[in-house]
Amino acid sequence: MRLADLEVGLTYIDANVLIYAVEGRPAFVEVLTDLMQALERRSLRLATSELTLAEVLVRPFTNNDTAADAKLRAPADLPLVLLQDLTL
């Protein structure tokens, strides 16, 4: 079974998922493609936190990499991605 076949509802993603997607890491291309297909089919919604976004934006901010910054901020603007407050 592939991720694209799952109907799992809401799935939390951490910093690694966003970083691997932006960097295009070859080892994760297939699973990230499946993830995006599930989003497009609306069978999956993603959630992440403000802490995760802060974590992944450190390097683009430090390097003044506006392209990477824009790519990493983009998921938070998608209607199928929920930005959750971090609570303990």
Rounded to whole angstroms, the Cα distance separating 67 from 71 reads: 6
**pLDDT score, position 43:** 75
Interval 43-84: pLDDT, tens: 777 888 888 888 888 888 888 988 877 777 766 565 556 566
What is the signed CA dihedral for 84, 18, 81, 14, rounded to 10 degrees? -40
For 14-20, which contacts have Cβ atoms below 8 Å and span 24 or more sequence positions?
A: 14/48, 14/52, 15/52, 15/55, 15/56, 18/48, 18/52, 18/56, 18/72, 18/75, 19/56, 19/72
pLDDT band (50, 70, 90) for residue 33:
confident
Q: Residue holding tokens 């509802």?
A: 9
pTM tops 0.95, yes or no = no
Are residues 51 and 15 in contact, defined by beta-carbon separation less than 8 angstroms?
no
Q: 24: domain range?
A: 3-84
Number of domains within the chain: 1
Name the band, by pLDDT with cuts 50, 70 and 90, for residue 8: low
